[in-house]
A and B are shown apart, each in its own frame.
Chain A
Amino acid sequence: MTYQLQLTQLDGYCRVNFPAMACLCEVLIDTSDLQQALALGELARSETQRIERKYSRYRKDNIVAEINQADGRTVTLDDETAGLIEFAAELYDLSEGRFDITSGLLRQAWTFDGSDRLPPAATVEALLNNIGWSRVRWQPPQLTLQPGMEIDLGGIGKEYAVDRVYAELEQAFNGAFLVNFGGDLRARGPRADGSQWQIGVEKVSAGQVELIELGTAAVATSGDSQRFLLRDGVRYSHILDPRSGWPVTDAPRAVTVVASSCLQAGIFSTLALMMGSEAEEFLAAQDVQFWSMR
């Protein structure tokens, strides 16, 4: 059944579900007022859909399509998009080139289907000519890509949506709530009865779930669960290093990080995977709570 929004009254709180961002979006609201929960759920859904429409790389009528089809022309961005691009530019710098919104083209070479089919090195090499944030001219709010280059905000889009929906709900509602988009989530607590939201985190190995109490914080998980390639005993994660065009090896299967915003948690967990065998060392240096599963 296709549906647009589902409202469920649970014990002392309400849950709103809606499909968006290629995952199940869920919002828990600490109220027993169904009208209020519905209104807040609508708010969450409309903000999520707005972001999805605006930044999905699968659409032909949004700002991402306009940038990617500019063919060398300069595109002047609106404030929100300029903010996202500026954020991505800062991440590129912070991560020493590991986080790069121009690296989406590598998907043309790599298909992570659990098989052992690695692409030919020449194919990857050719793609690298059109990859690299350093080749982009970014004079806010004006963005100029070389012809053939593309940007993809998929790496931060879902986390951004969680934080945006959180901000909308925070303003519209005074109680506790939790925004969960396929495991990337952000909560405000405690609930009116004094309890905290409980979330399950898979730790160490799949199947072992640890329940943690989340106050006002965010959680994001990055992992390769079913998306990897296996060849000659080497596991290639779906996390590609844009500097080489090749997947990171020896990365944890999944990394879950707690931070104050979903974007931060998501960046930490993504960067940790990119650090491969040094993932845990990197996270420990960041002074954040994390779980890594190898």
Chain B
Amino acid sequence: MQLKNKQIGKRLTLATSALLGSLQAQAADYWEVSSALLMYSEADDRVQAVEPVLNLSRQFDDESSINVRVIYDALTGSSPNGAMPASVAQTFTSASAAARIEQAEEDDDEEELEKYGDRGSYTIAPGDLPLDPSFEDNRTVLSLGWTRPLSNGYTMNLGGAYSSEGDFTSFSVNGALARDFNNKATTVSLGLNLEADSINPNGGVPTALTMYGAGNTDGSDDTKQVVDLMLGVTQVMNRRWLMQFNLGLSQSSGYQNDPYKILTVVNDGNLIVNPDDPESYLYLFENRPEDRQKMSFFWQNKVAIGADDVIDVGYRYMTDDWSVNSHTLDLTYHWQISEGLYLEPHYRYYRQSAADFYTPFLNAGSEVEVVGSSVTALVDEASSDPRLGAFSADTMGLKVGLALGSSSELSLRYEVYQQHDDNSLKAVAAGSHLDGMSQFAELSASWVQLGYTFRW
């Protein structure tokens, strides 16, 4: 084509941007659409999840931008109910499944009955980890974000999110203000997030530390509020090195329990027959403090190697007033093999100490008073949730990214996660039901993430 009719604007803009750096405001007159699919799977038929995400973002001429994200999350499988494995078979009556069955009977929902009819109660073989097979949930999340530069050099960010599950609803709003200093080499930001959650467990909110199966509830729902405050500093160290520090404070108050988690009560390591139901053993619903304060420190470094490779090193320290302290180290290498192809090997190390009320089971006598059919917890809080135990975990993964043309990218990532028990063993009488049983279920999981981004 002759030059007089040829559009040279786009190439000229690109060449100018390359020369002047990224400073030239490029009016992005398109929607950037990112989509991804996560397939998450835990070993031993535990939780399986399929999670599609769609993200739309658009930049406007005045340098403001909006972002809309929809996440759908379908979870199935079985989840540890918190009880200990024992040398005898254990039968559980799932309150949540029972509630579903009751509802299905009321609605005359054959399909639902078929699904849960045989799961109202489940029996765990000797030596096996008690898993509740009725774990099933769908989660939908909608989040919105709006960023806009203010005339006095600040950038403002406002956002909100709504998340809904069968037994859980969450609303949150957040705002942040950022300011550049020092020729844009330093950015300081301060953000606030307010979250209000509502929990309505299947079968009602179980009364904490009361007998599993007794059906004591504290109403049908409860609430939790979270306030997060975050101070961040981003610093350009030199041409190849970018650094970020974040200090986060979080205050959570309200219902923090997992309403489906229970604890085994034993007498000298032996299961105790439930005084109300000779067919089952004695378990108590867990209880956690109503308040939790967390503080986190996050430090991230991005270092450019050569022309296109990047090392990403992140470290996080978190501490809370439940005595959980954790260290997280995250390493990623972005290896640009050619213009359109890259590989990203990834390693993450995580270690946490246990919450002070974490215990794999409760001992009758010292922790629970069992007199006839009267069962009274002597501790204020107790949970056997492995999330609150002491463990370390490794994640290893690899991502492959492929550019399809100039404006779209396809990526595939595979990650493997393995936990390692760091708890000290709680004493158990020799030859008892719990003798030799694992007190912490180390989780193994893997996931595949498929991503596709394009401009529209």
A and B touch in the complex (CB under 8 A): yes
Given contacts A192-B151, A263-B19, A278-B4, 4 further A-B contacts (CB under 8 A): A86-B15, A163-B20, A260-B13, A264-B12
Q: Is B19 within 8 A of A95, CB to CB? A: no
Q: Which residue of B lies closest to A288 (CB)?
A: B9
Q: Roughly how many angstroms separate A261 CA and B27 CA in the complex, as a whole number?
A: 12
- Asked if A287 meets B7 with Cβ closer than 8 Å, knowing A87-B15, A167-B23, A264-B16, the reply is yes
Q: Would you call A209 an interface residue if the criterion is a C-beta within 8 Å of the partner chain's C-beta atoms? A: no
Contact of B7 among A261, A275, A285 (CB under 8 A): A285
Q: Which residue of B lies closest to A281 (CB)?
A: B4
Q: Is B9 within 8 A of A287, CB to CB? A: yes
Q: Is A95 within 8 A of B24, CB to CB? A: no
Q: Roughly how many angstroms separate A282 CA and B3 CA in the complex, as a whole number?
A: 7
- Asked if A98 meets B18 with Cβ closer than 8 Å, knowing A170-B23, A174-B152, A260-B24, the reply is no
A175 to chain B, nearest CB (A): 8
Residues of B near A281 (CB, < 8 A) are 4-5
Binding site for A on B (CB under 8 A): 3-9, 11-13, 15-16, 18-21, 23-25, 27, 151-153, 180, 183-184
Q: Roughly how many angstroms separate A130 CA and B39 CA in the complex, as a whole number?
A: 63
Q: Is A286 within 8 A of B20, CB to CB? A: no
Q: Is A98 within 8 A of B4, CB to CB? A: no
B408 to chain A, nearest CB (A): 24
Q: Roughly how many angstroms separate A287 CA and B153 CA in the complex, as a whole number?
A: 32
Instruction: Provide the main secondary structure of the chain A interface.
Output: helix
Q: Which residue of B lies closest to A287 (CB)?
A: B9
B351 to chain A, nearest CB (A): 41
Residues of A near B13 (CB, < 8 A) are 260, 264
Q: Is B20 within 8 A of A94, CB to CB? A: no
A270 to chain B, nearest CB (A): 12
Contact of A275 among B4, B18, B24, B153 (CB under 8 A): B4
Q: Roughly how many angstroms separate A172 CA and B12 CA in the complex, as a whole number?
A: 27
Residues of B near A160 (CB, < 8 A) are 19
Residues of B near A164 (CB, < 8 A) are 20
Binding site for B on A (CB under 8 A): 83-84, 86-87, 90-91, 94-96, 98, 160, 163-164, 167-168, 170-172, 174, 192, 216, 260-261, 263-264, 267-268, 271, 275, 278, 281-282, 285-288
Q: Which residue of B lies closest to A278 (CB)?
A: B4
Please name 7 pairs of A and B residues whose Cβ atoms are closer than 8 Å in the assembled complex, sorted by A. A83-B19, A90-B11, A167-B23, A216-B25, A260-B24, A264-B13, A281-B4
- Asked if A87 meets B8 with Cβ closer than 8 Å, knowing A167-B23, A171-B183, A172-B183, the reply is no
A279 to chain B, nearest CB (A): 9
- Asked if A261 meets B3 with Cβ closer than 8 Å, knowing A83-B18, A84-B19, A94-B11, the reply is no
Residues of B near A268 (CB, < 8 A) are 12
Q: Roughly how many angstroms separate A168 CA and B185 CA in the complex, as a whole number?
A: 12
- Asked if A263 meets B11 with Cβ closer than 8 Å, knowing A174-B152, A278-B4, the reply is no
Q: Is B4 within 8 A of A87, CB to CB? A: no
Residues of B near A163 (CB, < 8 A) are 16, 20, 24
Q: Roughly how many angstroms separate A167 CA and B151 CA in the complex, as a whole number?
A: 17
Residues of B near A84 (CB, < 8 A) are 19
Q: Which residue of A lies closest to B61 (CB)?
A: A216
Q: Which residue of A lies closest to B24 (CB)?
A: A261
A121 to chain B, nearest CB (A): 25
Closest 10 CB pairs of A and B: A174-B153, A90-B15, A171-B183, A87-B19, A278-B4, A282-B4, A167-B23, A83-B19, A171-B184, A263-B16
- Asked if A260 meets B184 with Cβ closer than 8 Å, knowing A87-B15, A167-B20, the reply is no
Q: Roughly how many angstroms separate A268 CA and B20 CA in the complex, as a whole number?
A: 17
Q: Is A91 within 8 A of B21, CB to CB? A: no
- Asked if A275 meets B8 with Cβ closer than 8 Å, knowing A167-B21, A171-B183, the reply is no
Q: Roughly how many angstroms separate A287 CA and B7 CA in the complex, as a whole number?
A: 8
Residues of A near B183 (CB, < 8 A) are 168, 171-172
Q: Roughly how many angstroms separate A278 CA and B5 CA in the complex, as a whole number?
A: 10
Residues of A near B9 (CB, < 8 A) are 264, 286-288
Q: Which residue of A lies closest to B27 (CB)?
A: A260
Residues of A near B24 (CB, < 8 A) are 163, 260-261
Q: Roughly how many angstroms separate A263 CA and B15 CA in the complex, as a whole number?
A: 10
A281 to chain B, nearest CB (A): 5
- Asked if A285 meets B11 with Cβ closer than 8 Å, knowing A84-B19, A167-B23, A263-B20, the reply is no
Q: Roughly how many angstroms separate A98 CA and B180 CA in the complex, as a whole number?
A: 41
- Asked if A285 meets B6 with Cβ closer than 8 Å, knowing A94-B12, A264-B13, the reply is yes
Q: Roughly how many angstroms separate A87 CA and B18 CA in the complex, as a whole number?
A: 8
A173 to chain B, nearest CB (A): 9
Q: Is B8 within 8 A of A286, CB to CB? A: yes
Q: Roughly how many angstroms separate A132 CA and B86 CA in the complex, as a whole number?
A: 86
- Asked if A275 meets B3 with Cβ closer than 8 Å, knowing A94-B11, A170-B23, A261-B24, the reply is yes
Q: Roughly how many angstroms separate A216 CA and B11 CA in the complex, as a whole number?
A: 21
Residues of B near A168 (CB, < 8 A) are 183
Residues of A near B27 (CB, < 8 A) are 260
Residues of B near A271 (CB, < 8 A) are 3, 8
Q: Which residue of A lies closest to B62 (CB)?
A: A216
B448 to chain A, nearest CB (A): 39
Q: Roughly how many angstroms separate A174 CA and B155 CA in the complex, as a whole number?
A: 12
Residues of A near B8 (CB, < 8 A) are 94-95, 271, 286
Q: Roughly how many angstroms separate A87 CA and B20 CA in the complex, as a whole number?
A: 10
Q: Roughly how many angstroms separate A281 CA and B20 CA in the complex, as a whole number?
A: 29
Q: Roughly how many angstroms separate A271 CA and B21 CA in the complex, as a whole number?
A: 23
Q: Roughly how many angstroms separate A160 CA and B24 CA in the complex, as a whole number?
A: 13
Residues of B near A285 (CB, < 8 A) are 4-7
Residues of A near B180 (CB, < 8 A) are 171
Q: Is B23 within 8 A of A98, CB to CB? A: no
Q: Which residue of B lies closest to A90 (CB)?
A: B15
Q: Roughly how many angstroms separate A267 CA and B18 CA in the complex, as a whole number?
A: 15
Q: Roughly how many angstroms separate A285 CA and B9 CA in the complex, as a whole number?
A: 10
Contact of B25 among A94, A96, A260 (CB under 8 A): A260
